[in-house]
Amino acid sequence: MKNLSPSRLCKKHWNPIAAILVGACLGFAIAIPILDQMGENSLFYRWQSMIGAAVSAGLAIGLFQYQRHLDKQKEKKGYTFAVIRSLKRITNHYENVRIDMAKVTIENQRIRAAMPHFRPHRREDMQIVANAVAEIIMVYGKYSEILASIPRDHEIAGDIIADLDKIDDALGKTMNSFQSVRNTAATNWSENTADGTPLAIFDALQLLKDTAYQRETINTLLKQLQSNTL
């Protein structure tokens, strides 16, 4: 992620054309009194209107580009604040607790599956895991809706959008994986790991590790953007 510090956002932008023309003006200002003493300043008087027009045009272009640069930086800063608001909606979403509750439910089923009296083909136990995974999928759907609501203007903030796209892609892949686990949990508990844990439970718990990492990634990006706009 690129540094978006205020010093970078507000850094002065010097236009080389304007700088050259300003230097030329200073040069003429110094040269004219000297040449006046030598009686050879008629050339400058003859071309003064053309020189003035050229300098004015060059300065106007330079000032326009400089103002456009400042406008882009202002737009990028406003866009950054919009991204921060959206990421806060994800990290502070009231339904995030459903992921934590689903994790507890699946972990409890893993513990039950290790008990001697556990019946792996009982419909009720299978549906408990499937329902817990469905809760996670629902929350991920909320994440996707929030990220999709952020406009993608690569000209304004291509670096920020690249980070958002990576997060969006990771969330989408994880949600699809949870959907596959949900289908397995609802229909097939015949496959187990080496320690006897139903594969659906094992896969769900592994994906929950990815979920924790993704939430931390979002928090990290949020903190970085917040610190860079102070």
What residue spans define the domains of the chain?
6-73, 75-228
Contact (Cβ atoms closer than 8 angstroms) between residue 139 and residue 182: no
pLDDT at 6: 38
d(CA 174, CA 215): 12
With residue 196 as reference, give the H or E element that holds it. none
Average pLDDT over residues 93-101: 84
| pLDDT per residue as tens digits for the range 61-73 | 777 676 766 667 7
d(CA 100, CA 95): 10
d(CA 110, CA 198): 8
Crossing angle, helix 199-228 and helix 123-148, to 10 degrees?
20
Cα distances (Å, whole numbers) of residue 21 to 47, 54, 66:
15, 9, 15
**Residue 23 reports pLDDT greater than 70:** no
Beta-bridge partners for 192:
198
Q: Which one of 3.40.190, 1.10.3470, 3.10.450, 1.20.120 gives the CATH number of domain 75-228? A: 1.20.120
Tell me which DSSP letter residue 192 carries: B
Average pLDDT over residues 105-129: 79
d(CA 21, CA 51): 10
Residue type, 106: I
For the chain, the helix, strand and coil percentages under 3-state DSSP, each to the nearest 5: 80, 0, 20
pLDDT at 7: 40
Contact (Cβ atoms closer than 8 angstroms) between residue 126 and residue 186: yes
Whole-number mean pLDDT of the chain?
75
SS3 222: helix
